[in-house]
């Protein structure tokens, strides 16, 4: 009877793992997957407790060794006792088989969600879609030309071909030409605030500052995006650009540092 109870618990554990696998492949609710795993774990615990209490030998024997090595007859007797105990432990072969099946099913259920992992992040936080030669484009895809913006104006831009990449969004602004003569007054800064990643969408032309409306971090565009005030802890990354022979603005490289807020691996 006791062996049957342990066997029943192992069967329930196997069934719980099977239910989890079925729920996973059929797109079942996470609630059902969690309940199935909980059922499996509870049944395995019950089987382990029942096995320990009912099936394992409980006799404790202490045999003092007076001389070493023991006499041949004594060694033979002890060897026979050990073999008998091993046979007693392994006697329920059907239960041992059920145990292996239940553990294998549980391991498969635990390993299965690995299939749902996305691609490794690699170094995506360190780079954007800006590259050497990437044209500066408006959100509609049109390239920005050198005479498009008035002085003290600003617009949102993306690298051509990556108009929907949030990591690459940037603010293109134009200051008086004498403040940035090599690019006719054009500057590009990342639009991701270095505090919490909110969009730095406000350009205060009189002060030559970009401001994040979320937590009021302010950056000086004439000082390579240095923090003027607010909770941001490092400068707003500036994108190096140049004017192409056809009069369009192009990047000369990616941002020199990761954009957005700080993270553990950021140097």
- The answer to whether 37 touches 20, Cβ cutoff 8 Å, is yes
State how far the Cα of 201 lies from the Cα of 209, in Å rounded to an integer.
11
pTM: 0.60
- The answer to whether 192 touches 180, Cβ cutoff 8 Å, is no
Q: Report which of 199, 140, 142, 196 is spatially closest to residue 169, judged by C-alpha positions.
A: 199
Residue 69: cis peptide before it, omega within 30 degrees of 0: yes
Given this model, what pLDDT does residue 229 score?
96
Given this model, what pLDDT does residue 89 score?
62
Given this model, what pLDDT does residue 83 score?
79
Given this model, what pLDDT does residue 237 score?
97
- Which residues, given as ranges, of the chain have pLDDT below 70? 57, 61-68, 85-92, 121, 267
Fold of 124-251: Rieske Iron-sulfur Protein (2.102.10)
In the structure encoding, which two tokens stand for residue 257, read together? 């540092």
In the structure encoding, which two tokens stand for residue 256, read together? 């020199």
Given this model, what pLDDT does residue 66 score?
65
Helix, strand, coil in percent for the chain, rounding step 5: 40, 15, 45
Given this model, what pLDDT does residue 152 score?
96
Distances (CA, A) of 233 to 13, 33, 160, 193, 261: 52, 42, 30, 10, 9
Distance of CA 112 to the CA centre of its chain: 17
Given this model, what pLDDT does residue 265 score?
74
Give me the half-sphere count of Cα atoms (radius 13 Å) on the Cβ side of residue 81. Answer: 11
Given this model, what pLDDT does residue 166 score?
94
Encode pLDDT of 76-120 as tens digits: 887 887 777 666 665 567 788 899 999 999 999 999 888 888 777
Given this model, what pLDDT does residue 143 score?
97
Given this model, what pLDDT does residue 19 score?
94
**Total residue count of the chain as it appears in this document:** 267
Q: What are the residue ranges spanned by the domains of the chain?
A: 2-116, 124-251
């Amino acid at each position: 009877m006791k062996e049957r109870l342990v066997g029943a618990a192992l069967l329930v554990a196997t069934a719980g793992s099977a239910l989890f696998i079925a729920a996973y492949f059929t797109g079942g609710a996470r609630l059902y997957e969690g309940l199935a795993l909980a059922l499996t774990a509870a049944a395995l615990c019950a089987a382990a407790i029942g096995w320990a209490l009912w099936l394992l030998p409980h006799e404790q024997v202490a045999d003092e060794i007076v001389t070493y090595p023991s006499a041949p007859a004594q060694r033979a007797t002890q060897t026979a006792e050990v073999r008998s105990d091993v046979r007693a432990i392994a006697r329920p072969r059907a239960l041992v088989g059920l145990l292996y099946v239940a553990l294998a099913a549980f391991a498969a259920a635990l390993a299965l969600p690995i299939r749902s992992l996305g691609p490794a992040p690699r170094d995506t936080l360190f780079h954007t879609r800006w590259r050497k030669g990437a044209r500066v484009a408006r959100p509609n895809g049109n390239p920005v030309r050198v005479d498009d913006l008035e002085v003290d104006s600003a617009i949102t831009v993306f690298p051509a071909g990556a108009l929907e990449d949030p990591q690459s969004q940037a603010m293109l602004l134009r200051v008086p030409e004498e403040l940035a003569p090599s690019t006719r007054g054009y500057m590009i800064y990342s639009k991701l605030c270095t505090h919490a990643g909110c969009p730095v969408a406000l350009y205060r032309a009189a002060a030559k500052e970009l401001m994040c409306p979320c937590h009021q971090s302010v950056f000086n565009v004439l000082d390579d995006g240095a923090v003027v005030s607010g909770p941001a802890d490092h400068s707003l990354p500036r994108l190096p650009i140049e004017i192409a022979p056809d009069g369009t603005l192009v990047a000369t490289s990616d941002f020199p540092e990761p954009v957005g807020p700080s993270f553990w691996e950021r140097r």
